[in-house]
A and B are shown apart, each in its own frame.
Chain A
Amino acid sequence: MTKSAECKSLLESLSDYVDGTLSEELCEEIQRHAAECQDCRIVVDTLQKTVYLYHATASEPADVPPNVRDRLFRSLNLEDYLCN
């Protein structure tokens, strides 16, 4: 396989690699290629970081502002539950 074909093939498996759902054999292939190809190493590392950063922001509680919650309960005729 040429280097650019290897880079492209790595790219296609990258989401599964980041999610930890790629086979061990393919993971090793990616790691081997990334050790030799600096651009691909950067793509792998920064993609992992990108996903990590978004996961970090999403791990915080998803709150609804109190006034939005009030209006939501009223729109659903559930205003008698608002004191909870």
Chain B
Amino acid sequence: MPELSVEALKSGDRDEFARLVDAYSGPIYRLATKMLGDQQDAEDVLQNTFLNAFKHIRGFEGRSSLATWLYRIAANEALMMIRKQRPETTLTDTALKDDNGEDYSPVQFVDWCCLPEDEMLSSEARSHLDQAIHRLPEKLRIVFILRDLEGLSIEETSQALDLSQTAVKTRLLRARLNLREQLSSYYGERLQDRSKAK
């Protein structure tokens, strides 16, 4: 990512703002797409993120990096959109209710690691990887996207979502275990297909 001057951004420097938009629009659009699963909604989140960044940059205190601050705005925008589309959803995902670990215990024990990598990353498989993310409860999904797709650290993810690092770690583990279950179903079937074909 290019070095950006926060001072220039705060003083309303349009060149610097255009550089900021070019540097971060890709990751923010990807976050929104993975979070919402709809390109039009993702575009709305993308625009609102930068409109809000433009509006509030003077209040940026540097307690996190500029990138984390932008991700925070984008995550809030995406979660707000989900809430608006499904007002009956309170985002209190049921998967988090049980803190004794029972609800995320693995149930699938198929070893699909031996599948060839090009099959695991085929376009059909990639589409399944995306669908699996979309089936995660929102609160797990946003943690997984920030940490495992956008590469934020646990600390940065906790700053972006205003969560404790312990909560981030718990949600990340549950998201990963949930995805492992989903992928085990999908790749397990691919494995069966291969053994039938032999």
Contacts and interface: CB of A to CB of B under 8 A. Distances in A.
A38 B17 CA distance: 54
A44 to B, nearest CB: 10
A60 B121 CA distance: 12
Interface string B87-124: 00000000000000100111001111100000011000
Secondary structure at chain A's binding surface: helix, strand, loop or mixed?
A: helix
B47 A46 contact: no
> What's the interface size class on B, roughly?
35 or more
Give the contact-size bracket for chain A: 35 or more
Interface in B29-78: 29-30, 39, 43, 46-47, 50-51, 54
A11 interface: yes
Contacts of B25: 64, 69, 72
Interface of A: 8, 11-12, 14-16, 18, 38-39, 42-43, 45-47, 49-51, 53-58, 61-64, 68-69, 71-73, 75-76, 78, 81, 84
Instruction: Give 10 closest A-B pairs by Cβ, nearest first.
Output: A62-B26, A62-B30, A81-B18, A58-B149, A15-B173, A50-B180, A42-B111, A75-B47, A39-B109, A64-B29
